[in-house]
Chains A and B, each alone.
Chain A
């Protein structure tokens, strides 16, 4: 079983819909990252969380340390949000390495 599991693997939404992507992990972590990868390959870091909730524009990320679960929400989705969203965790207290989920492919139709 992978240490980081994402769901769903694929998601198609209509423009304007509220979107949730989930991430569960099975190891102790010091931080969790949400990343976005557009077609063409470039990866951008969206959030780094160690507790609670963060918001940036239409994106909201939450983490529940006790339940080992994080969610990424997109409000008022737009076709330009179409991308692969990747959850990654930093294992242990001072680790430099990330462990990645397989990613969620999001397509937002207009």
Chain B
């Protein structure tokens, strides 16, 4: 079974702190994703990475950065946490689409609920 793990289930930080959220997958997937989930808005893509050291902005990248130094690990960084970044953060991974172009399902981690005070 594919396993995607996230470093914390719950996190409480203060405004202005630098926050690291870690995600690790064990299936050698090329693609990794960071989402945030807010009530009524669904999941929104923050950043994704399609290979080591490669990243692409999603729909809401402002206030976030990412790091992918190793294939299995994708980190989300809040440079200076703010109260509007209080949210549920979900990491996901997927293999690269097959040569037929058929898209692949994404496998999600358990989520990190972040509270910024």
Contact = CB atoms under 8 A, between A and B. Distances in A.
B45 to A, nearest CB: 6
Interface residues of B, number: 30
Interface string A69-95: 000000000000000001010100111
Nearest to B113: A41
Given A42-B111, A43-B90, A93-B101, A98 B106 contact: yes
Interface residues of A, number: 26
Contacts, number: 65
Contacts of B40: 102
Contact of B45 (A48, A86, A98): A98
A100 B35 CA distance: 11
A96 B108 contact: no
Given A30-B103, A48-B105, A93-B101, A42 B41 contact: no
B111 A96 contact: no
A42 B108 contact: yes
A57 interface: no
A107 interface: no
12 contacts: A30-B102, A42-B111, A86-B42, A86-B43, A88-B43, A93-B101, A94-B103, A95-B103, A96-B48, A96-B103, A97-B45, A98-B43
